[in-house]
Amino acid sequence: MVYDAIVVGTGISGGWAAKELCENGLKILVLERGPMVKHIEDYKTMHDDPWDYPLKGELSEHEKKNYQKQLRVGWAPRDDVKHFFVNDLEHPYQETKRFDWIRGYHVGGRSLTWGRQSYRWSDIDFNANKKDGIAIDWPVRYKDIAPWYDKVESYIGVSGEKLGLKQLPDGQFQPPMELNCVEKDLQDSISANFDDNRLLTIGRVAHITENTTEFKGRGPCQYRNRCWRGCPFGGYFSSNSSTLPAAERTGNMTLRPNSIVHEVVYDDTLKKATGVKVIDSETHEKLEFKASIIFLCASAMASVGILLQSKSITFPNGIGNNHDELGRNIMDHHYQLGASAKVDGHLDKYYKGRRPNGFYIPRFVNLDENTKQKDFIRGFGYQGGASRRNWSEVIAEMGYGKKLKEAVLKPGGWEIGMTGFGEMLPHHENRVTLSATKKDKWGLPQLDFDVEFKTNELNMREAIKKEAVSMLTKAGYKKVKPYDRETGPGLGIHEMGGARMGDNPKTSVLNKNNQVHEALNVYVTDGAFMTSSNCVNPSLTYMAFTARAANHAVQQFKNNKFS
């Protein structure tokens, strides 16, 4: 059978590609390298409590050996969610320089475990490379993507507060979640103490917050904060609860898990891709599937790896790589640095539920002459939260007997913290290649990362810590401490670049519609297409570009452009 389209990957981008192509009448094959995960049915830990695990969710020392690189992130994997993260021994990669590649191979991908923070780009971001003379210019602007942001937000459900900021455009929002009393206190302090238009708001997050019938099969967030286990209510957006079921309802989708796509087949005579080569992950059987259109949504680095392996007479170094641009300009966001503090007072107040969200402080530097920084370009924002300490402060010699029993039932004082997310520039020499010697268990070349933070990033990290300390100090909080944990690119889990879009085929891999310049029936719509990185979480932008590209592909297909 020849399909109209093949979609590689089932995560944030793959789900949207499947939905849009199917709803427009195309017969598609969706290929996922990992096992099936059915919504609700396969969320096997969704109702577990810490006491359901021998080590309260922590992995044993023996199990940690399977996740040595995944554990670099600090908060994952744990016993309740280890099945949504790869076993590093089974899925190795090489590091010429440290790169923290945090992954999950299964239907739904990281849409099951993502942080759900959903922010639009602005023209400040789409113009940044051109303005700064960095890398290449984006071939699109905000006006090109704004209608697709509208479409995506309305469909997935994004809660948030409208702010009217030029650097962070407002969207189609569900009612915002609430800040707690200490977060409101910091919000007031920031507004009173800084004159650079910085502010604090609740995070814009892909959670339904009001009862509505428009989200088929999904209900509002229950404030359980067990999102990464899979939400049985569909309160947050995932491919499993939303886009894949939409594609399936059309009757136009065939989904095949355990299918490792390793090559896009290119016909040198027809001058187009004709399908993909696959290895069955369980049987190791080699297969080939044919289609008129190929959508690579395998995640940025995986899609780049597939393109690098897709060699032909026309493309001896991989599809779209005749000018040595494929695999270059790898980016991520700063992570694992910021500041924390203790907060006096507010002991008569608490909060209800387990809000799966925190506050957000949008970018406030390098927006104009008044906020221009001398040591770095671009900007950063913060995510954070405040909570009351729990019974752990009464351990050791802090109490015993009746007083101890009474103390463990009372919450402690308030603490607050914030983590910076900063922009990384698209340095041409930051790249990923195929290892010449190392292969995985399926005989495929491992990826080798040669990526690092450079001077602009290192200077920005110092500013991120400094400004976090300043905001907490001016609020009058105690024991303000900066932190900067050992990290490298990748740990923000916002890896992007490698097949950037642009107008010139000699300096970019994709055109403005996410098509490979010299193989127009191949679309790449995961993070690989990013030409710069901004400082906000990128998933909303991936979805908007994917919806746009899929609809472009449909029109091209119906006009016989790929026949």
Under 8 Å between Cβ of 135 and 454: no
Crossing angle, helix 539-558 and helix 12-23, to 10 degrees?
A: 30
pLDDT score recorded for residue 407: 67
With respect to residue 26, please indicate whether it lies within any of the assigned structural domains.
yes
With respect to residue 386, please indicate whether it lies within any of the assigned structural domains.
no
> Quick one: three-class SS letters along 462-512?
HHHHHHHHHHHHHCCCEEEEEEECCCCCCCCCCCEEECCECCCCCCCCECC
pLDDT score recorded for residue 412: 86
Which sign, positive or negative, has the C-alpha torsion 172, 180, 185, 363? negative
User: How many C-beta atoms lie closer than 10 Å to residue 560's C-beta?
Assistant: 8
Tokens of 483: 């932190």
pLDDT score recorded for residue 405: 67
What is the Cα 249 distance to its own chain's centre? 26
- Long-range CB pairs of 186-193, under 8 A, 24+ apart, other chains included: 186/359, 186/386, 186/416, 186/471, 186/472, 186/475, 187/359, 189/471, 189/474, 189/475, 189/476, 190/361, 190/471, 190/475, 193/471, 193/474, 193/475
Which stretches in the chain have pLDDT values below 50? Answer: 391-394, 398
Q: 249-298: per-residue pLDDT in tens?
A: 999 999 999 999 999 999 999 999 999 999 999 999 999 999 999 999 99
With respect to residue 362, please indicate whether it lies within any of the assigned structural domains.
no
With respect to residue 394, please indicate whether it lies within any of the assigned structural domains.
no
With respect to residue 396, please indicate whether it lies within any of the assigned structural domains.
no
d(CA 319, CA 312): 8
With respect to residue 410, please indicate whether it lies within any of the assigned structural domains.
no
From residue 309, alpha-carbon distances to 313, 347, 350, 430 in Å are 13, 59, 55, 19
Burial 240-278 (b: 16+ CB within 10 A, else e): bbbbbbbbbebebbebebbbbbbbbbbeeeeebbbbbbb
Which sign, positive or negative, has the C-alpha torsion 464, 467, 468, 469? positive
Across the strands, what pairs with 201? 360
d(CA 136, CA 18): 30
Residue 72 domain boundaries: 1-157+237-332+427-443+489-563
Number of domains in the chain: 1
d(CA 531, CA 50): 42
pLDDT score recorded for residue 394: 46
With respect to residue 43, please indicate whether it lies within any of the assigned structural domains.
yes
pLDDT score recorded for residue 205: 98
The CATH number covering residue 249 comes to 3.50.50.60
With respect to residue 536, please indicate whether it lies within any of the assigned structural domains.
yes
